[in-house]
Amino acid sequence: MSSLAMEVETSGQSRNRQLVEWVEQVARLCNPDRVHWCDGSEQEYQAMIRLMLLGGVAVPLDSERRPNSVLVRSNPADVARVEDRTFICSEKREDAGPTNNWEEPEKMKNTLRQLYSGCMAGRSMYVIPYSMGPIGSPIAKIGVEISDSPYVVANMHIMARVGQRVLEVLGEEGEFVRGLHSLGAPLGANQQDSSWPCNAEHKYICHFPETREIWSYGSGYGGNALLGKKCHALRIASVQARDEGWMAEHMLILKMTNPAGEVKYFTGAFPSACGKTNLAMLIPTIAGWKVETVGDDIAWMKFGSDGRLYAINPEYGFFGVAPGTSTKSNLNAMLAVTRNSIFTNCAVTPEGDVWWEGMTNDKPPELIDWLRRPWTPQSNRKAAHPNARFTTPASQCPVIAPEWQDPAGVPIDAILFGGRRGGIVPLVIEAFNWTHGTFLGATASSETTAASAGKVGQLRRDPMAMLPFCGYHMADYFAHWLKIGARTDAKLPRVYYVNWFRQDENGKYLWPGYGENSRVLEWIFDRCDGRVHAKDTPIGRLPDPDDLDLQGLNLPTSDLLKLLSVDKTGWLGEIPSIRLHFQKFGDRLPQELARQVDDLERRLRAT
């Protein structure tokens, strides 16, 4: 046995034989200079920050303006999730489905083994035990990520519960998701390291659902490298959830309290650029109401003994998109990132603070942009990358709910879907029942914005906002939703579809959005108890204008009527688009959803 393997075996960090043997195997394959088992301590976090500072990966921010925070700037070839290099390597191709890239598992592993061979030479190999969800929670799951990146270790410290306590809960026989990550940039003797090591030529983010493994190579950025996030918490967890009878969803979780002190919990799934994080941290404009954050991105839900779905936020921090975040759009997020944060690909001010587009009304007179170049408002380029990020502890959010770490989770009263639609879709729709709600989620759509790839205004279907994140055939995912709803003992949440982005014929938004969205949440809150009216329409149940609390909101009656109207012609025009969307799933599409399209068309033509 090599001295490296001996070091791993006798480290005393884990009593789990499967884990120790796997770490030894990876060490032999990747050939690092040393192996470090992460303990999750503050000293370890600061050591990772120092390594990044010394290596030129990070620069310190002004300690008075942004205490204990750094700015990291990545390689321009490594700035976002790489969906075209993301694979679901299920044993059968058909199980990956039409929305995922597939490769035969052993073929992909052989390709990656060649790339992993010696890939950590000259580097440290970090073993990162983590818990997605409160440690020991019956809804939580344990994973272990092996990485050669201090950036990954530091971010995982913020984004998950990391360290020795996780290993104690794992015990000798516990199961865990195996995540192997390498930058793919071995160092030769006396070779100087890059300021952002990665492998521009070879990038793979591969998931093996049956064996609960994630193999990532070549990228050091975001969800490609922080394997607890999208890779584990959605792609692998969605398969675990299907197999074990629970739900792993790309959803926020919020707590809402009315003036009488009554509490309800909502989850919400929204595609990008639809205000998901803003809604999770909403500041209501209606007197006496309060919204608190349980989670901003992912919800894991399991049935409790009372038949209700209980949700945890499996994450420990926020990995948010910085551009567009401001005190107007999300004051609570801005307050959360005032300290103890890692900023990636933002601009920096002469005073040593970060800046990004949309952060302030006025642009600073001078900056250093994310590519380390001088920048002024006259520069014909963005100062921050459009996918610039902040990583910050969730505990720093001023409106984090006290029960956000409750291992039992919080009981969900309503599930919200949404998208960015300029026309057709009303402000809010209540589903007739769970099956109809599944249909609304399965047909969720958004119009692309100028910041998105493709033509502006082009319609993109993003079922349950899970299109890039479902770890198996999406038609089977729909079937799993229907199976959840078929439980005879279930007390299911109500399902809603919201659209804050309805426009008039001149492109003006009809609804003010932001904090005013609390008025729609108030209606949903009261609908859960049947305390407020809704009318049946061909597309679902809608409020009448008098059903919404609009006190203090100067909203023209004509705008309100448009927001709450059913555009029969427009909806009939949606039917072919929905049928085409469903066709891609072939004969695996649940017949209940095919019938929903027929029923929608029948109801529309009958009015």
Task: Provide the token pair at 31.
Answer: 């050939």
Q: Is the Cα dihedral 10, 12, 13, 14 positive or negative?
A: positive
Q: Which of 274, 346, 397, 470 is catalytic?
A: 274
Cα 388–chain centre separation: 15
Distances (CA, A) of 151 to 126, 132, 188, 222: 11, 19, 21, 10
Helix (H) or strand (E) holding 605: helix 591-606
Q: Hunting for tokens 């705008």 — which residue is that?
A: 559
Select from 267, 263, 264, 224 the least CA-distant residue to 468.
224
Task: Provide the token pair at 395.
Answer: 């505990």
According to DSSP, residue 193 is labeled P
**Rg of the chain on CA atoms, in Å:** 24
Number of H helices, E strands in the chain: 17, 32
274 part of the active site: yes
Q: Hunting for tokens 């061979």 — which residue is that?
A: 117
Q: In whole angstroms, what is the distance from residue 492 CA to residue 414 CA?
A: 8
Distances (CA, A) of 595 to 91, 417, 582: 31, 20, 11
CB-based contacts of 211, cutoff 8 Å, min separation 6: 105, 178
Task: Provide the token pair at 8.
Answer: 């791993």
For residue 593, report the phi and psi dihedrals to the nearest 5 degrees.
Answer: -75, -35
**Which residue type, as a one-letter code, is found at position 260?**
A
CB-based contacts of 221, cutoff 8 Å, min separation 6: 74, 78, 79, 80, 81, 198, 344
Q: In whole angstroms, what is the distance from residue 479 CA to residue 340 CA?
A: 42
Residue 335 near residue 327 (C-beta atoms within 8 A): no
Residue 283 near residue 515 (C-beta atoms within 8 A): yes
SS3 408: coil
Q: In whole angstroms, what is the distance from residue 371 CA to residue 365 CA?
A: 17
- 418, burial (CB in 10 Å: exposed 0-12, middle 13-18, buried 19+): buried
Residue 216 near residue 204 (C-beta atoms within 8 A): yes
Cα 430–chain centre separation: 24
Task: Provide the token pair at 126.
Answer: 């970090």
For the chain, how far is it from start to end, CA to CA, in angstroms?
77
Task: Provide the token pair at 115.
Answer: 């790339």
Pairing of strands 410-411, 309-312: antiparallel
Distances (CA, A) of 418 to 143, 237, 582: 31, 23, 19
Select from 142, 153, 159 the least CA-distant residue to 16.
142
According to DSSP, residue 400 is labeled B
Residues catalogued as catalytic: 274
